[in-house]
Structure 1
Amino acid sequence: DAEFDAVEVECGSVFGSWLVKRNQDLAADPRLTSVTKLGSSDAHYCNAVAYCYTVLKVREPSLEAVKQAIIEGRCVPRCSEPYMRTRRLLGRIPKLW
């Protein structure tokens, strides 16, 4: 019942099949229809930068414009193709489930 402005639904550090499914379910949850969906690489090493990211629809490149885009839901979570290949590969490893 907490109020959220945004929720991360794509995360570059999530590879286990059940975690991916949980994020997909979260993105589709009807209680979060009006909440902004975000993507983040959560990078802990250089090659992971931009695995997942958020495309913002802003009028100008400023922190205030970024903040407003998130608040108003003018953004879309995305995953890169290298991340999707890695997720498919690692998602088959039972230890990560």
Structure 2
Amino acid sequence: MRSRYCAFVRRDEAYLLRTWHPRTRPARVEFDPGMRWTGLEILGTGEGSAFHSAGTVTFRASYAGGSLQERSRFERVDGAWVYVDGEFLE
């Protein structure tokens, strides 16, 4: 999760696509040119240990002017964790 946040901060589309599950990966990642990310706080995790094939990360990402919360789902593909999808939380 932290590495994907950093990729959003740096607008590293190649890394984001590489770490996105092939089943749900978009053709492109669109970045908001006015977005300035200012911090990441991990609020919780579910499963996702070396013994699991899936897990979740709940986080708050702050940006200039606000924040968003999401519960992201990850799955292991060929030994690597990849982002599947997320649910925005209030």
TM superposition score normalised by structure 2: 0.30
**Structure with the largest fraction of strand:** 2
Greater C-alpha Rg: 1
Answer 1 or 2: higher relative contact order, Cα 8 Å, separation at least 6.
1
**Structure with the largest fraction of helix:** 1
